Structure 1
């Protein structure tokens, strides 16, 4: 079964259960991947979280149900998973711009979000820069936190970009960088263009709605890791994708677009599957001072 079939079967399950509890574990079983991987693939390809798609589809169907005045608002709210008419009314207004009662009136303008379908499209005009690397097990260390998949924020409501800005301003970034001792690039067999501090995420299961994210460094034999979280990176094959052709050299590149292409183009046509166990976001500067990023994904052959 190919990637498109698996994704469409997962959508079939979601659509068949919009008026019931949707089991994310069952979605993952249908798609032959983990809950985490399905949510990541979905958000990278569609540009929205899975939960947002489900919310929009439920409220689209709720609007159709409201056209039949025999359906009570309370019953419609319960049908689509809202515990009270008030919570349903708020969600409905946020999406459609009017209340459920107003939606019954003739001429009301409502928003409809159609059922999703994954299809083959003609792409591939622009090349993708990637390589496959085989690496032995190693360790990384750094500042760890857990973030929500929908919000990309921690329990304090601070987003990942804000965390990067905060550690840059308070000196923690510099302290982390100075904790590496020795020629860590040679020890870790990394290229000279790689920056000392990078991001590593999704290396363990926290929950179906969260993921761990570590701002850290390669752990050399002499690194000072006291006060930091140390994470084991297993021996793996890695697919490495680069933004080297993207941006203008100032570090302004579109990682969202690259991730979309990885999951919607490369993954469909390659002989590999992306697997759980951690992903890297490496920040690099080449000899010409050109800033770019590399995305590292653990892979296995299909």
Structure 2
């Protein structure tokens, strides 16, 4: 995976003014576009699209400051069809318009070229198991929420708080297959993992693939496949979010599996009364790399 990400960075540099054929690149590297995007954003701390934009504007800034070419020529060279579109992207990165930077020599914000390296980490073993599951259904109450990387998501809190207590009991009674119990389900997340992008959050349970769904409940159909299940314990949600990040930095680079499209599922196994600590299982859909 590390070599694939570095090859991706090299290709970004070679084709800064062009659209990347990420699907073709991923296939050539023996992986998938979905997994490549997820691993890049997790390890780089930014979406691939944002990195490409920053690199384009870093290189474009040199052309702007030198002043040899018209701004439209520079815009086209770096993949923009108009001075206006180029100007918006330039200002978003550097905080000033191209004409201002040409006149004043700055301000400029440089995005260095990334290089991924394998470091010796993972001194604490990750408690993981692999589960081959037939198709099943996730049923419950869903809503659209923005992605938040750190801390409690208040939109999810509000959604759960609005569900009547008797409905929680009804859902628990419906739970009929693994992962067992009340579940926190995230589906349809942006592969780039951009904070603020919307996903579907479902508070519910897992039932068999052919189970009839009671009225008033939303459904996510989950196809058959393999799952990597990570067990976490400690302060909540910090321990869970740390483990989630570690799957990208430690587990996937060290194991012959990659993410496949599908929902991510959190099952709460034990928790303090105030939810300050919890033992959880994080279920991620995977396939052989």
Structure 1 residue 269 corresponds to structure 2 residue 254:
yes
Over 3 Å counting, the alpha-carbon distance change for 1:254 and 1:45 in structure 2 is: farther
* 1:215-256 per-position Cα deviation (integer Å, ceiling 9, x unaligned): 132244888532333223233332112331x42xxx231555
Aligned 8 A contact 1:140 1:218 in 2: yes
CA distance in structure 1 between the aligned counterparts of 2:46 and 2:239, rounded to whole angstroms: 16
The alignment partner of 1:67 has SS state of helix
Q: How many residues align?
A: 278
Deviation at 1:262, TM superposition (A): 0.9
The alignment partner of 1:167 has SS state of helix
Aligned 8 A contact 1:200 1:215 in 2: yes
Over 3 Å counting, the alpha-carbon distance change for 1:90 and 1:190 in structure 2 is: closer
CA distance in structure 2 between the aligned counterparts of 1:130 and 1:63, rounded to whole angstroms: 46
Aligned 8 A contact 1:133 1:240 in 2: yes
Aligned 8 A contact 2:147 2:199 in 1: no
The alignment partner of 1:225 has SS state of coil
Deviation at 1:66, TM superposition (A): 1.3
Deviation at 1:14, TM superposition (A): 2.2
CA distance in structure 2 between the aligned counterparts of 1:269 and 1:280, rounded to whole angstroms: 22
- Which TM-score applies when normalising by structure 2? 0.79
Aligned 8 A contact 2:184 2:266 in 1: yes
Of 235, 238, 242 in structure 2, the residue corresponding to residue 257 of structure 1 is: 242
CA distance in structure 2 between the aligned counterparts of 1:234 and 1:65, rounded to whole angstroms: 50
The alignment partner of 1:112 has SS state of coil
The alignment partner of 2:100 has SS state of helix
CA distance in structure 1 between the aligned counterparts of 2:80 and 2:120, rounded to whole angstroms: 40
Could you tell me which residue of structure 2 aligns to residue 14 of structure 1?
A: 12
Over 3 Å counting, the alpha-carbon distance change for 1:286 and 1:24 in structure 2 is: same
- Which TM-score applies when normalising by structure 1? 0.76
Q: Which moved more, 1:138-147 or 1:39-48?
A: 138-147
Structure 1 residue 64 corresponds to structure 2 residue 95:
no
* 1:142-162 per-position Cα deviation (integer Å, ceiling 9, x unaligned): 345677xxx749xxxxxx935
* 1:166-186 per-position Cα deviation (integer Å, ceiling 9, x unaligned): 3235x23757534426362xx
Deviation at 1:199, TM superposition (A): 1.0
Could you tell me which residue of structure 2 aligns to residue 177 of structure 1?
A: 168
Of 127, 130, 139 in structure 2, the residue corresponding to residue 129 of structure 1 is: 127
* 1:169-212 per-position Cα deviation (integer Å, ceiling 9, x unaligned): 5x23757534426362xx32556xx5x13114249x99xx9885
Gaps of 5+ in 2: none
CA distance in structure 2 between the aligned counterparts of 1:173 and 1:199, rounded to whole angstroms: 19
The alignment partner of 2:173 has SS state of coil
